Amino acid sequence: MEVTGWAPEHSDALREYLAQGMSFAKIAKTINARFNTDYTRSAAIGRARRLGLSTPDGSPSVTPRPTPVPQLNRSSEPRERQPRSIEFPWPMPVFEKAPQVELRCVEIAPRHLSLVELEYGDCRYPYGGDSDGEPITFCGHRRRPGSSYCTPHFHLSRNPELETEPSQSTAPLHLSEPA
């Protein structure tokens, strides 16, 4: 016999109320009022599962949860991967193919300087590093004042539809004398 804290008459009441089609929250509330107990909705669900109860239409008392994904073995020995199949209670979404984006580029031959070779006034627009082991180099041409990039790369890195120059403030300046 399983020791759960549920008296036999409480379990009988759970069976009776579940057969009537009551929700687990209402079952817990009714049992608590009838027997002066303090069962929660979760306790009623757990007890129904342990008793193997089902609803009047024959379905399980609660919908089953998706199967959890097993943890990977972190040992040093190689292990063959087993295909996993998880069934979810909702349908898999259908994704549409996105249109390919046309990339913008500039007509400039970069100097391909490494980070160590860059000097103070050189353009820092990066090239490479797209695949593993590919080195990252930089444009290296003279940079535009107030920017880290040369003029062609500055314009390439900005939205062409927006204003590229910062606007001047029209707020008046007030000079104050030192105290």
Q: Annotate 59-110 with three-state secondary structure.
A: CECCCCCCCCCCCCCCCCCCCCCCCCCCCCCCCCCCCCCCCCCCCCCCCCCC
Name the band, by pLDDT with cuts 50, 70 and 90, for residue 158. confident
For residues 53 and 7, give the distance between their C-alpha atoms in angstroms, rounded to a whole number.
Answer: 16
Query: 114 in a domain, yes or no?
Result: yes
Q: How many domains does the chain have?
A: 2
Question: What mean pLDDT do residues 16-40 have?
Answer: 92
The per-residue pLDDT of the chain, averaged, comes to 80
Residue 60 has pLDDT above 60, yes or no: no
Q: Is residue 131 part of a domain?
A: yes
Q: Is residue 27 part of a domain?
A: yes
Instruction: Let me know if residue 172 belongs to a domain.
Output: no
Residue 113 domain flag:
yes
155 in a structural domain = yes
Domain that holds residue 45: 8-51
Please report whether residue 64 resides in a domain: no
Q: How many CB atoms lie within 10 A of CB 150?
A: 23
Give the 3-state secondary structure of residue 133.
coil
Query: Is the confidence at residue 141, as pLDDT, over 80?
Result: yes
pLDDT in tens, 102-133: 777 788 889 999 999 999 999 999 998 888 88
Break the chain down into helix, strand, coil percent, rounded to 5.
25, 5, 70
Q: Indicate whether 22 belongs to any domain.
A: yes
- Phi/psi of residue 113, each to 5°? -90, 145
